[in-house]
C-alpha cells in the first residue's frame, strides 16, 4: 500500500473517531425531556451507565456536611424552605416567613379551611421563582388518605396562587422538591410517608404526571426531599437519617444521622442544608454547611 493511500486511510479513520466522539457527547449532554407516563432520567456529569431506560451520568459524592447552627423555636412541625432573603417554615395548617435572623415577618394560618379543597394536612415544600410549592392532602393514617394536591402560594404575600390535583396516582404525599432544569419545563419530585419505594415526578408547569423513580432500597417514613447537583437528599423519620440518593434511585449511603425525636422536612439551597426536627415543644431548624478540615 502506498504512503499516499495509507495517509488517506489515516485521515478517514481520524474523521470517523472525531464524528463518533461528537455524537456521544451530544447524546449525553442533551437534556432528556420526558412525556407524560415516561420514566424520568437524571443527568449528572462524569462517567455513565445505563439502568433500564435511564442513562445516568454520575458526579462524585458531595462534600461532607457539619452542623453549623440551630434556629429558635419555629412552631413548625412539617418542613422548611428558603430563598436569598427569607426562610419559610411549614406547620400542618400554617406557613411562617422569617428573615435570615429568624425574626418572623409574616404568617398564613388556617390554610386548609381557607383553600376549600377539603384537606387537613400540609407537608414539606419548596420555594422557587417567587412561589412556595406545598403538598396538601387529607391524611389520617396510611390506610386512609385522599385528595392529594400540590398548592402554590405567592412567596411575598403567602396568598394562594394555583394548585395541581395529583390524586389520580393514589400516592400519599409527604414532601416535594423542584428541579427547574429537569424535563421540558422543570420537574416537581414528591415522596410518600406510606410508600418509601419510589419518587414521583410531575411537570413543573402543568402538574402532568411524568412517572416514578424506583429506589434501590425502601426508605421508611419519608418526611422530606431535596434535590441538588443530581442527588436527592431524603429524610427518614424512623432512625432520623438523611439519605443520599442518586438521580437513578440508587440509595448510596447515610449522609447525616441526627437523633432529634422527629426528623421532618429538608431544604438544600446554595451550600446550606436545612433540617426540620420536632422535639416536642421545640420545633427547630438546624443548619448544615460543608465541613472545613483543619
pLDDT of amino acid 99: 98
Conformational region of residue 4, where left means phi above 0, alpha means psi within -120 to 50, and beta covers everything else: alpha
Q: Which three cell numbers stand for residue 68?
A: 453549623
- Taking residues 4-17, what's their average pLDDT? 50
pLDDT digits (tens, 9 = 90+) for 149-206: 999 999 999 999 999 999 999 999 999 999 999 999 999 999 999 999 999 999 999 9
Of the listed ranges 45-59, 76-90, 269-283, the least confidently predicted one is 45-59
Rg (CA), the chain: 22
* pTM for the model: 0.80
Residue among 111, 71, 82 nearest 95 (CA): 111
Phi, psi (rounded to 5 degrees) for 133: -105, 125
Mean per-residue pLDDT for 242-268? 94
Q: How much is the mean pLDDT over the chain?
A: 84
Contact 162, 149 (CB under 8 A): no
64-290: CATH superfamily = TolB, C-terminal domain (2.120.10.30)
Element housing 23 (H / E): helix 3-29
Per residue in 56-97, pLDDT (tens digit) is: 333 445 568 899 999 999 999 999 999 999 999 999 999 999
The string of DSSP codes covering 214-242 is E-SS--SSEEEEEEETTEEEEEETTTTEE
Determine phi and psi for 262, rounding to 5 degrees: -140, 110
The boundaries of every CATH 2.120.10.30 domain in the chain are 64-290
Q: Percent of the chain, pLDDT > 90?
A: 74
Nearest to 225 by CA among 260, 199, 206, 204: 199
pLDDT at 51: 30
Distance CA 139, CA 223 (A): 14
- The pLDDT-based confidence of 261 (bands split at 50, 70, 90) is confident
Whether the pLDDT of residue 35 is over 80: the answer is: no
Q: What pLDDT is recorded for position 294?
A: 53
Taking the CB of residue 86, how many other CB atoms lie within 10 A of it? 16
> Which residues are registered as beta bridge partners of 233?
226, 244
- Mean pLDDT to the nearest integer, 262-271: 95
Amino acid at each position: 500500500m502506498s504512503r499516499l493511500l495509507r495517509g488517506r486511510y489515516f485521515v478517514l479513520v481520524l474523521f470517523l473517531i472525531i464524528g463518533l466522539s461528537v455524537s456521544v457527547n451530544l447524546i449525553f449532554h442533551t437534556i432528556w425531556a420526558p412525556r407524560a407516563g415516561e420514566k424520568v432520567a437524571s443527568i449528572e456529569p462524569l462517567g455513565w451507565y445505563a439502568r433500564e431506560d435511564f442513562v445516568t451520568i454520575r458526579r462524585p459524592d458531595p462534600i461532607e456536611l457539619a452542623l453549623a447552627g440551630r434556629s429558635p423555636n419555629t412552631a413548625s412541625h412539617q418542613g422548611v424552605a428558603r430563598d436569598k432573603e427569607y426562610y419559610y417554615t411549614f406547620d400542618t395548617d400554617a406557613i411562617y416567613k422569617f428573615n435570615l435572623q429568624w425574626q418572623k415577618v409574616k404568617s398564613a394560618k388556617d390554610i386548609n379551611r381557607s383553600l376549600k379543597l377539603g384537606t387537613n394536612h400540609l407537608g414539606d415544600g419548596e420555594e422557587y421563582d417567587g412561589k412556595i410549592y406545598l403538598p396538601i392532602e387529607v391524611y389520617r393514617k396510611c390506610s386512609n388518605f385522599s385528595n392529594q394536591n400540590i398548592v402554590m402560594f405567592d412567596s411575598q404575600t403567602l396568598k394562594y396562587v394555583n394548585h395541581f390535583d395529583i390524586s389520580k396516582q393514589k400516592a400519599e404525599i409527604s414532601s416535594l422538591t423542584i428541579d427547574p432544569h429537569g424535563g421540558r419545563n422543570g420537574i416537581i419530585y414528591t415522596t410518600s410517608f406510606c410508600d418509601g419505594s419510589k419518587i414521583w415526578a410531575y411537570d413543573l408547569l402543568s402538574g402532568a404526571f411524568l412517572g416514578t423513580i424506583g429506589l434501590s432500597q425502601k426508605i421508611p417514613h419519608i418526611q422530606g426531599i431535596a434535590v441538588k447537583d443530581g442527588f436527592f437528599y431524603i429524610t427518614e423519620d424512623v432512625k432520623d437519617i438523611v439519605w443520599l440518593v442518586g438521580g437513578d434511585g440508587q440509595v448510596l449511603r447515610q449522609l447525616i444521622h441526627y437523633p432529634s425525636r422527629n426528623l421532618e422536612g429538608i431544604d438544600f439551597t446554595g451550600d446550606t442544608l436545612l433540617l426540620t426536627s420536632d422535639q416536642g415543644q421545640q420545633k427547630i431548624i438546624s443548619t448544615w454547611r460543608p465541613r472545613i478540615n483543619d
